Chains A and B, each alone.
Chain A
């Protein structure tokens, strides 16, 4: 039966309430099991040997001495993970990142691994693996990597997206371009122009749970993997491809996940754990140390961005351009392209052009980090927009309202918008008491906007009506922040039953059809769509069962408020049948009742946010304190408002860390100097104020309840909102993120002359 996903529902009973989450007790009692909290009989401990060089040819690896260590059961190198990628460049990048093949491409790149009976033996064996390196010149800075004389990481990379195709290899993997109109003519028509260059440091997702898995390969060709991941079906596919396993024979169970934010969307060490298990013939547990997490997983791109925006005296933008250079680690991806797409997505522009350059460098392979690539682009654009408003003499909010995209606007990256929330979030900001609150000495206020696409994707859900009328909901999107609660609300709403009568679980790869991972803010959006569809299918069956129970035609039965009801006056005496009534008789009316759904959740509604921020800058130390923070964001429909607020607050806090302090620091030797939470300092409780939130609900026309993804957009505006606030507080315009105390002090000193 075809599923109608159009927005219809306006009145809700369950959706929009704030019940207790189903996994709450497990998580406050320590019973919830995360990646490292699982063991198997005969399990070995794995450790990974990593390159100490930023760029080096691997001349020879001799594992003889390591293999001789008592208690060591297996040692693997790239030889144990043969290349089965068959020309698939993205898959090869994952393989090469899991275990370096001919070259180590960054400090921390895995070169070998050991499985032993205990950590002591494993660590001892690591020291006895002899690796002969030929150290090569390295490059970690994005602009330096683009220079003609830069050391080239990969001599097979010739910039794509330019004509004619270059005949020399470089670190620029591709060029992407978006936009429309005539920007030159637009700038001609401008009365004011702001043109600036910006840089942002590389940050890590900083999930508190390190990557962890238990892998078990059996001699009969079957295998199991327990792992903390945002997408166990994707991990199954990656691992099966890289190890030559049949997909059906690899069962992957997602543990509770201790944070991911995009960093747990593709495999890192899991294929290595499986290879060790295959070689040793025993289960293997592999848990990364925090230092390994920083050196060899994550992070986001470092960037260098030029922005030029022109406007007329009346405040209308006439043209806007941006050139965006993003690092991708040693393997090209689409990070610059995403930056180029998102840059000007908030605005209604006649003439716009963005160009992205994807640049490979000797840093870890970049992974998605919450609205990947958008925060850096928004930092640059929203800083320039703010400066332009000041130059024209307009209020920063009014200037943005005048230029905001709306329904029918052709976006800077192509599509024409449906109903969207940028205008409403700006109007809400204008009216918010925060905007008119008094400021003290050395304090300043800033604001900025942000955009994220939101994704949908492949989704499969099972909804089982149990014999007692309660419902078990099996979903395939990993719960990263409360989605079992929101999806239980959705099932309760659609069936017309109580939230407490629904229990949602995340099913493993053997018990449910394929699901894309929880990324792109798709968890609640797409799985709720599949849950509604599954519930409607179950209702169809319940109507049929009621027809049998009553012995009347099914066409005369409709579903309302959780009950099958007979239509028309001729069945007036039939008392409605509840889910419990129908379920109790299911054994006599055709057996178990279930609704299934397999769909591609199209139509994820785009998401916009406006943030307001007050800071206080200490002119003596250059230290910046966040005094007040407000997030205003469109949720489409907030299914469980507490967890929507949580997404808004969490994203803002991550953005604050990015803006003020977080940064990968490399030495001249290309080695990461701060791979730990002491020196890579994320915001702590005493760094932050309460983070106020305002949820707007502009329904997504492509979801039955109007739901939009809510997870990512909140990290997009903070960098610029804080930079604009710092500018208003200290009178200096910061163009380099993070705005650490030394950078602000230097800017203050420069301003004094």
Chain B
């Protein structure tokens, strides 16, 4: 197989890479670009650990080909904080103890960010269904939902 040349945008930066036609975006991120904050939990689109945002939409990067990123804009966990300043969701996840082992955390943060960009004031039910594609085995989701609610409040400018 011949490698494909891809030009794309990742976390706002222009990026070019070569990848195999059957190579997933997840493998490109992790193995070619060193962006290992995106995790692989299943490789079949069932766990959401590899969630990334592609042109504003949450995707499982294990179900996207590296070649499909051509001309797109990709956001990963590495781009979520603005320099030294954490995104409110990142801060709230730490404050609410919304992570235990933390392997699912990058995927949850990416998915929750996309939720709050689309729906700044989600109900608990909306949060739970939006995040239903992200598996967490440690927390029982309680503290994750509370962290998202609290981050949403802060981002809307409301007092906690």
Give residues in A with beta carbon < 8 Å to B: 18, 20-21, 23-25, 27-34, 36-37, 120, 205-210, 256-261, 287, 289-290, 480-482, 642-643, 645-646, 649-650, 652-654, 676-678, 682-688, 690-691
Chain B residues within 8 Å of A645, by CB: 97, 143
What would 18 more interface pairs be, CB under 8 Å, given A480-B100, A643-B100? A27-B102, A31-B37, A36-B30, A205-B137, A208-B103, A208-B104, A210-B41, A258-B39, A258-B102, A642-B143, A645-B97, A650-B137, A650-B140, A654-B137, A684-B133, A685-B134, A685-B145, A686-B132
B137 touches A207 (CB 8 A): yes
Q: Top 5 A-B pairs ranked by shortest CB distance?
A: A30-B37, A258-B103, A653-B140, A27-B102, A649-B140
Q: Contact string, B36-50, partner A, CB cutoff 8 A, digits 1/0?
A: 111111111011010
A35 to chain B, nearest CB (A): 9
A652 touches B43 (CB 8 A): no
B103 touches A29 (CB 8 A): no
Partner among A24, A206, A643, A650 whose Cβ is within 8 Å of the Cβ of B94: A24
Chain B residues within 8 Å of A21, by CB: 94, 97
A614 to chain B, nearest CB (A): 16
In the docked arrangement, what's the CA distance between A642 and B136, Å? 17
A682 touches B100 (CB 8 A): no
In the docked arrangement, what's the CA distance between A205 and B135, Å? 13
A646 touches B138 (CB 8 A): yes
B10 to chain A, nearest CB (A): 13
B57 to chain A, nearest CB (A): 19
Chain B residues within 8 Å of A28, by CB: 80, 86, 90-91, 93-94, 99, 102, 105-106, 109
- From known contacts A21-B94, A258-B101, A258-B103, infer whether A481 and B37 are also in contact, taking CB-CB under 8 Å: no
Give residues in B with beta carbon < 8 Å to A: 20, 30, 35-44, 46-47, 49, 76-78, 80-81, 86, 90-91, 93-97, 99-106, 109, 125, 127-129, 131-146
A208 touches B140 (CB 8 A): no
B148 to chain A, nearest CB (A): 10
- From known contacts A25-B94, A27-B105, A481-B100, infer whether A259 and B144 are also in contact, taking CB-CB under 8 Å: no
In the docked arrangement, what's the CA distance between A650 and B131, Å? 17
- From known contacts A30-B36, A649-B143, A650-B139, infer whether A24 and B99 are also in contact, taking CB-CB under 8 Å: yes
B138 touches A650 (CB 8 A): yes
B95 touches A261 (CB 8 A): no
Chain B residues within 8 Å of A691, by CB: 140, 142
Partner among A209, A287, A653, A684 whose Cβ is within 8 Å of the Cβ of B101: A209
Chain A residues within 8 Å of B135, by CB: 208, 677, 682, 684
In the docked arrangement, what's the CA distance between A256 and B105, Å? 13
A30 touches B106 (CB 8 A): yes
30 CB contacts below 8 A, A to B, read: A24-B93, A24-B99, A25-B90, A28-B80, A28-B86, A28-B90, A28-B105, A29-B86, A30-B76, A30-B78, A30-B106, A34-B39, A207-B103, A207-B137, A208-B47, A208-B103, A208-B136, A208-B137, A209-B41, A209-B101, A210-B40, A481-B100, A645-B143, A646-B100, A650-B138, A653-B141, A685-B131, A686-B131, A690-B145, A691-B140
Interface of A is mostly: loop
Chain A residues within 8 Å of B139, by CB: 646, 649-650, 653
B1 to chain A, nearest CB (A): 8
Chain A residues within 8 Å of B96, by CB: 642
Partner among B102, B137, B141 whose Cβ is within 8 Å of the Cβ of A256: B102
Chain B residues within 8 Å of A261, by CB: 137
Please give me the residue from chain A that is nearest to B95 by CB atom. A20
In the docked arrangement, what's the CA distance between A743 and B101, Å? 34
Chain B residues within 8 Å of A290, by CB: 41-44, 46-47
- From known contacts A27-B99, A29-B81, A207-B137, infer whether A676 and B42 are also in contact, taking CB-CB under 8 Å: yes
Chain B residues within 8 Å of A24, by CB: 93-94, 99
- From known contacts A34-B103, A642-B97, A650-B100, infer whether A677 and B137 are also in contact, taking CB-CB under 8 Å: no
Chain B residues within 8 Å of A260, by CB: 101
- Most central of A33, A652, A684 by chain B CB within 10 Å: A684
Please give me the residue from chain A that is nearest to B76 by CB atom. A30
Chain A residues within 8 Å of B42, by CB: 290, 676-677
In the docked arrangement, what's the CA distance between A206 and B138, Å? 10
A643 touches B86 (CB 8 A): no
A649 touches B142 (CB 8 A): yes
In the docked arrangement, what's the CA distance between A205 and B101, Å? 14
A214 to chain B, nearest CB (A): 13
Please give me the residue from chain B that is nearest to A209 by CB atom. B103
B97 touches A677 (CB 8 A): no
In the docked arrangement, what's the CA distance between A309 and B77, Å? 55
Chain B residues within 8 Å of A687, by CB: 132
In the docked arrangement, what's the CA distance between A207 and B106, Å? 16
Chain A residues within 8 Å of B101, by CB: 207-209, 256-260, 480-481
In the docked arrangement, what's the CA distance between A482 and B100, Å? 6
B132 to chain A, nearest CB (A): 4
Chain A residues within 8 Å of B129, by CB: 685-686
B102 touches A36 (CB 8 A): no
Partner among A32, A649, A690 whose Cβ is within 8 Å of the Cβ of B102: A32
B138 touches A481 (CB 8 A): yes
- Most central of A27, A256, A261 by chain B CB within 10 Å: A27
A25 touches B86 (CB 8 A): yes
In the docked arrangement, what's the CA distance between A18 and B138, Å? 18
In the docked arrangement, what's the CA distance between A678 and B93, Å? 27
Please give me the residue from chain B that is nearest to A653 by CB atom. B140
Chain A residues within 8 Å of B125, by CB: 686
B77 to chain A, nearest CB (A): 4
- From known contacts A208-B137, A646-B139, A649-B143, infer whether A259 and B106 are also in contact, taking CB-CB under 8 Å: no
Chain A residues within 8 Å of B102, by CB: 23, 27-28, 32, 256, 258
Chain B residues within 8 Å of A120, by CB: 20
Please give me the residue from chain B that is nearest to A692 by CB atom. B142
Partner among A287, A646, A688 whose Cβ is within 8 Å of the Cβ of B97: A646
Chain B residues within 8 Å of A33, by CB: 36
A286 to chain B, nearest CB (A): 14
B137 touches A206 (CB 8 A): yes
In the docked arrangement, what's the CA distance between A690 and B134, Å? 17
Partner among B78, B128, B136, B144 whose Cβ is within 8 Å of the Cβ of A686: B128
B78 touches A209 (CB 8 A): no
Chain B residues within 8 Å of A258, by CB: 39, 41, 101-104
- Most central of A30, A32, A481 by chain B CB within 10 Å: A30
Chain A residues within 8 Å of B30, by CB: 36
In the docked arrangement, what's the CA distance between A211 and B17, Å? 29
Chain A residues within 8 Å of B78, by CB: 29-30
Chain B residues within 8 Å of A677, by CB: 41-42, 44, 46-47, 135
- From known contacts A649-B143, A653-B141, infer whether A259 and B86 are also in contact, taking CB-CB under 8 Å: no
A482 touches B97 (CB 8 A): yes
A118 to chain B, nearest CB (A): 9
A643 touches B47 (CB 8 A): no
In the docked arrangement, what's the CA distance between A33 and B101, Å? 11
B65 to chain A, nearest CB (A): 15
Please give me the residue from chain B that is nearest to A30 by CB atom. B37
Chain B residues within 8 Å of A31, by CB: 37
B39 to chain A, nearest CB (A): 7
B44 touches A678 (CB 8 A): yes
B11 to chain A, nearest CB (A): 11
Chain A residues within 8 Å of B40, by CB: 36, 210, 287
A464 to chain B, nearest CB (A): 26
In the docked arrangement, what's the CA distance between A684 and B141, Å? 8
In the docked arrangement, what's the CA distance between A97 and B77, Å? 37
Chain B residues within 8 Å of A18, by CB: 97
In the docked arrangement, what's the CA distance between A556 and B106, Å? 54
- From known contacts A29-B80, A208-B47, A258-B101, infer whether A37 and B41 are also in contact, taking CB-CB under 8 Å: no
B134 to chain A, nearest CB (A): 7
In the docked arrangement, what's the CA distance between A37 and B35, Å? 10
Chain B residues within 8 Å of A652, by CB: 140
A30 touches B38 (CB 8 A): yes
In the docked arrangement, what's the CA distance between A34 and B105, Å? 12
Chain A residues within 8 Å of B38, by CB: 30
